[in-house]
């Protein structure tokens, strides 16, 4: 009996695979397959206009050369980056400040849970809804213009969506409002991970709060800061729903609020130019992949530095033992 | 472990980035340029489909008219209140012969209706649930008329004598390249200039439509009046696009020649006029359908008039003119805002705007019913006349409209008692639709959007033109710049 048991030991491993199978099936059907078909499309001339389908033709790298020759994609990458940076600077600044305040042991803020919920709330609302709201608020007959008119005494409204700067800033503000709560929570988690002994020691040594912030907090949370920066950048590259709704898909004025994904969407909105859309997708993928690899590289650089430090420590210890 | 974490982190990021690539793409086989002959059906409709009239629409307008005026509609079984003219029941619609009517409603916004309709029509041949009828608009009518997805109406029993009373342009635009009529409309949509009587009296000294028309008879006179309006603190037009149709309907060449986009001089005239008006403050810098544009038509507005066609005057303008909107419980009656304060005249040039046509889908398994719906809703003189008298819509029946036009006692309360049908009846025969293409909707929208930047000073003319071509070729990648 005992010996046969040895041979027929029950393996539960297959259940593990069975349980994760649904994910991989869904992933393969809805992510992996479309991804490869998009890459394939980028090498083909393939389009449908209304009821007419044009024959598919292999064109090699023609789509790519045409895209870069046309050069518009650089403008749209530029637009995307500008809108992202206008939103990201206040976002990281406010988030750091809030995170520092919420975690400060000396401040002991009350009703923290309430504030955390409030600042996180905008992230829960659909971006499209927030955009519609802002569009109404800043419209020619909206409340902001009512205030502007009563302050300035002018009887013509300031047309926010007819100026390049104001349109971009409004989109950036929406991005900021939607994401600063998320960033705050991330940074708080990072700050709370810092060894409290460091803060205590600093306090005993008579460090001012700003000194503790710049000398202890910032260096300790550097990896998370980089993570926040890069994930935000990847999200920024894919910016779509807010400018799409604010400018009604046209990226107005003068296509200055046209982001890369809006440009991509334009290729398949009325006439379906799958070839060009696929090409833009692949370019976007490569950019985002480079950014992602940059995070990984940063993380491993930290790791390498740590390993080196640990080795150095060991050597010193060995040296000490020898003596 | 840390290494594994790092690898996982990297893969997750890549997966995230990869999800962007998930664009849609279907591997439908290509068929090249579409043929005009109606498509052969590979599969027959099911018994259920033969008992169901499936109609594709983008709003409730035709539904409402159908329920109210189609004699074979079974109001009782469908739960329709014939006194209040609204459907109180929630069930399906039925015809008196027991057939069911199914409406497939898809919003028009952003090409959505056409996308859904195109997908359904392409699947029609293989499907056993056939579409019987669908509605189309003037701006893209040719796309469906010149396709294999519509049935020549002669084949389902609609004769030339049935359509004899229709305005020529409504038939012209619905005629395929093989000469067969593919769609019919219950309405004609001539456009007029609707102006405010109070402002006309104050600035021009008269609100009589004939005298005002004399002052607006061509574009030079129109410009002169605009200057007078501006001097007294009023705006001639509300926004950039208001006069667009008046120019674009009078072009001498179509938008597209072969596969080359061409820009007519009339369109550039619109650009120059609008830029001039914007710089001189003759308009209020709004855009069509924007909140501010709607508000300009109400009592707080300072705008002299609007170019509108039949439906626009009686529905949109009348609704916008109210002080207390219908949503807030206001009524369309004299005394509520500007109701009764507007009048209409022909304006500087003839134009039309909009219009809805009915098509019989190729492969429909209820062609007799579809033909009957078309005959009753679009060819029947009595129904046409009642429809105009009840709803103020302008119907596609010359003799019925002439009767109303000649009726001295008829007048619109909204227009201060003016008989607008008389003006429409005079304007409708002048409508020309021979320069339309299937690309009109997209190109008109792109042109207006691109030149808004020029009017607002964000771009010069060349830049705006360049942006127009960009947007146009994004919409129709098969076209090219001249």
- The answer to whether B335 and B103 have CB atoms below 8 angstroms apart is no
Lowest mean pLDDT among A303-317, B64-78, B205-219: A303-317
Name the strand (E) or helix (H) holding B101.
strand B100-105
pLDDT on residue B43:
87
**Of residues B432, B278, B272, the one with CA closest to residue B350:** B432
User: In angstroms, rounded to a whole number, what is the distance separating the alpha carbons of residues B478 and A60?
Assistant: 19
B7 has pLDDT over 70: no
Share of chain A above pLDDT 90, in %: 63
Q: Residue A148: which pLDDT band, with cuts at 50, 70 and 90?
A: very high
In B, minimum Cα distance to A295 occurs at B10
- Mean predicted confidence (pLDDT) in B454-471: 94
* A165 lies in some domain: yes
CATH homologous superfamily, domain B191-349+439-475: Periplasmic binding protein-like II (3.40.190.10)
Name the strand (E) or helix (H) holding B179.
none
Pairwise CB contact (< 8 Å): B21 & A30: no
* A306 lies in some domain: no
**Contact list, B261 vs chain A (CB under 8 Å):** none
Pairwise CB contact (< 8 Å): B28 & A141: no
A44 has pLDDT over 90: yes
Domain that holds residue A261: 71-267
pLDDT on residue A166:
95
What CATH number is given to the structural domain containing A139? 1.10.3720.10
pLDDT on residue B12:
52
* A130 lies in some domain: yes
Write out pLDDT tens, residues B408-440. Answer: 899 888 999 999 999 999 999 888 888 889 899
Pairwise CB contact (< 8 Å): B459 & A264: no
pLDDT on residue A294:
81
Listed in sequence order, the DSSP H helices in A72-221 are: 72-103, 112-120, 127-137, 143-152, 164-192, 196-204, 209-212, 218-220
Write out pLDDT tens, residues B35-50. Answer: 688 888 888 889 999 9
Token pair, residue B448, equals: 């207006």
A21 has pLDDT over 80: yes
Which residues of B244-355 form beta strands (DSSP E)? 256-257, 260-261, 283-286, 305-309, 342-345
pLDDT on residue B10:
53
Nearby residues of A94 by Cβ (< 8 Å), 6 or more positions away = A176, A180, A184
User: In angstroms, rounded to a whole number, what is the distance separating the alpha carbons of residues B66 and B80?
Assistant: 11
B144 has pLDDT over 50: yes
Q: Residue B363: which pLDDT band, with cuts at 50, 70 and 90?
A: very high
B276 has pLDDT over 90: yes
B47-188+354-406 carries CATH number 3.40.190.10: yes
B35 touches chain A (CB under 8 A): no
Name the strand (E) or helix (H) holding B287.
none
Q: Choosing among A52, A136, A268, which should be mutated to test the B contact, i.e. which has the most B CBs within 10 A?
A: A52
User: In angstroms, rounded to a whole number, what is the distance separating the alpha carbons of residues B391 and A17?
Assistant: 66
User: In angstroms, rounded to a whole number, what is the distance separating the alpha carbons of residues B109 and A42?
Assistant: 28
Pairwise CB contact (< 8 Å): A54 & B10: no
Token pair, residue A257, equals: 């609020």
In A, minimum Cα distance to B464 occurs at A254
* A294 lies in some domain: no
B31 has pLDDT over 60: no
- Mean predicted confidence (pLDDT) in B119-144: 93
Q: For chain A, what is the domain count?
A: 1
Q: Residue B22: which pLDDT band, with cuts at 50, 70 and 90?
A: very low
A228 has pLDDT over 50: yes
Token pair, residue B395, equals: 């119907």
* A304 lies in some domain: no
* A151 lies in some domain: yes
Q: Residue B315: which pLDDT band, with cuts at 50, 70 and 90?
A: confident
* A220 lies in some domain: yes
pLDDT on residue B330:
84
Whole-model pTM over 0.90: no
Angle value at C-alpha B115, between B112 and B116, nearest 5 degrees: 90
Residue A323's CB is within 10 A of a number of other CB atoms, namely 4
Domain ranges within chain B, ordered by starting residue: 47-188+354-406, 191-349+439-475
Name the strand (E) or helix (H) holding A185.
helix A164-192
Q: Residue B108: which pLDDT band, with cuts at 50, 70 and 90?
A: confident
Q: Residue B156: which pLDDT band, with cuts at 50, 70 and 90?
A: very high
B47-188+354-406 and B191-349+439-475: identical CATH topology? yes
A37 touches chain B (CB under 8 A): yes
Looking at the predicted complex, does its ipTM rise above 0.85?
no
pLDDT on residue B433:
84
Lowest mean pLDDT among A67-71, A124-128, B26-30, B177-181: B26-30
A31 touches chain B (CB under 8 A): yes
Token pair, residue B229, equals: 């309006």
* A77 lies in some domain: yes
Lowest mean pLDDT among A95-109, A154-168, B1-15: B1-15
Token pair, residue B200, equals: 């006309």
Q: Residue B91: which pLDDT band, with cuts at 50, 70 and 90?
A: confident
């Amino acid at each position: 009996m005992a010996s046969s048991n040895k041979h027929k030991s029950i393996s539960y491993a297959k259940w593990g695979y069975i349980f994760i199978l649904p994910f991989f099936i869904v992933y393969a059907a809805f992510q992996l397959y479309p991804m490869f078909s998009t890459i394939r499309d980028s090498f083909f001339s393939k389009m449908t206009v209304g009821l007419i389908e044009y024959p598919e033709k292999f064109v090699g790298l023609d789509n790519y050369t045409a895209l870069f020759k046309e050069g518009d994609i650089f403008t749209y990458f530029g637009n995307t980056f500008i809108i992202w940076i206008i939103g990201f600077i206040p976002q990281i600044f406010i988030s750091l400040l809030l995170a520092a305040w919420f975690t400060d042991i000396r401040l002991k803020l009350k009703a923290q849970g309430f504030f955390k919920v409030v600042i996180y709330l905008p992230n829960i609302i659909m971006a499209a809804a927030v955009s519609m709201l802002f569009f109404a608020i800043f419209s020619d007959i909206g409340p902001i213009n009512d205030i502007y008119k009563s302050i300035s005494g002018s009887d013509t409204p300031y047309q926010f969506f007819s100026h390049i700067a104001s349109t971009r800033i409004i989109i950036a503000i929406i991005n900021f409002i939607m994401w600063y709560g998320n960033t705050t929570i991330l940074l708080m988690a990072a700050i709370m991970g810092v060894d409290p002994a460091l803060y205590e020691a600093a306090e005993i040594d008579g460090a001012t709060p700003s000194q503790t912030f710049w000398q202890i907090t910032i260096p300790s949370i550097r990896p998370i800061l980089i993570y926040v920066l890069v994930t935000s950048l990847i999200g920024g590259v894919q910016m779509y729903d807010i400018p799409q709704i604010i400018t009604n898909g046209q990226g107005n004025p003068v296509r200055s609020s046209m982001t890369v994904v809006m440009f991509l969407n334009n290729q398949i909105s009325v006439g379906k130019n799958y070839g060009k859309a696929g090409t833009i997708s692949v370019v976007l993928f490569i950019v985002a992949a480079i950014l992602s690899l940059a995070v990984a590289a940063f993380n491993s650089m930290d790791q390498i530095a740590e390993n080196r430090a640990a080795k150095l420590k060991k050597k010193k210890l060995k040296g000490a033992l020898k003596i | 472990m840390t290494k594994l974490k790092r690898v996982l982190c990297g893969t997750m990021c890549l997966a995230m980035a990869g999800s962007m690539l998930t664009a849609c793409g279907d591997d439908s086989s290509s068929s090249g340029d579409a043929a005009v002959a109606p498509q052969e059906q590979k599969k027959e409709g099911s018994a259920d489909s033969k008992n169901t009239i499936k109609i594709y629409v983008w709003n409730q307008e035709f539904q409402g008219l159908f329920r109210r005026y189609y004699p074979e509609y079974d109001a009782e079984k469908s739960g329709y209140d014939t006194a209040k003219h609204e459907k109180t029941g929630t069930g399906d619609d039925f015809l008196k012969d027991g057939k069911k009517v199914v409406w497939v409603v898809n919003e028009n916004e952003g090409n959505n209706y056409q996308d859904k309709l195109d997908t359904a029509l392409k699947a029609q041949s293989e499907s056993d649930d056939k579409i019987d009828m669908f509605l189309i608009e003037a701006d893209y009518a040719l796309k469906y008329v010149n396709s294999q997805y519509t049935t020549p109406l002669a084949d389902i029993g609609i004769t030339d004598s049935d359509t004899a009373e229709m305005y020529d342009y409504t038939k012209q635009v619905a005629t395929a390249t093989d000469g067969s009529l593919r769609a019919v409309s219950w309405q004609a949509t001539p456009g007029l200039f609707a102006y405010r009587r109070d402002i006309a009296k104050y600035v021009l000294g008269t609100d009589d439509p004939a005298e005002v028309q004399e002052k607006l008879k061509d574009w030079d006179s129109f410009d002169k009046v605009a200057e007078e309006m501006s001097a007294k603190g009023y705006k001639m037009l509300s926004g950039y696009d208001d006069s667009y149709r008046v120019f674009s309907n009078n072009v001498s060449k179509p938008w597209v020649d072969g596969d080359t986009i061409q820009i007519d001089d009339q369109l550039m005239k619109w650009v120059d006029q609008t830029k001039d008006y914007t710089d001189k403050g003759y308009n209020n810098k709004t855009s069509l359908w924007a909140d501010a544009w709607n508000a300009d038509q109400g009592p707080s507005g300072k705008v002299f008039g609007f170019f509108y066609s039949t439906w626009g005057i009686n529905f949109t303008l009348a609704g916008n003119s109210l002080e207390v909107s219908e949503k807030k419980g206001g009524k369309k009656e004299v005394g509520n805002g500007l109701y009764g304060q507007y009048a209409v005249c022909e304006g500087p040039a003839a134009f039309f705007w909009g219009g809805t046509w009915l098509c019989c889908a190729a492969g429909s398994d209820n062609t007799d019913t579809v033909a009957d719906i078309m005959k009753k809703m679009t060819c029947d003189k009595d129904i046409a006349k009642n429809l105009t008298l009840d709803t103020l819509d302008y119907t596609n029946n010359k003799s019925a409209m002439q009767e109303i036009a000649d009726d001295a006692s008829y007048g619109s309360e909204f227009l201060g008692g003016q008989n607008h049908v008389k003006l429409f009846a005079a304007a409708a025969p002048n409508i020309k639709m021979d320069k339309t293409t299937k690309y009109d909707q997209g190109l008109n929208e792109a042109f207006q959007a691109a030149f808004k930047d020029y009017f607002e000073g964000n771009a010069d003319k060349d830049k705006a033109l360049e942006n127009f071509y960009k947007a146009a070729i994004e919409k129709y990648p098969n076209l090219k710049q001249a």
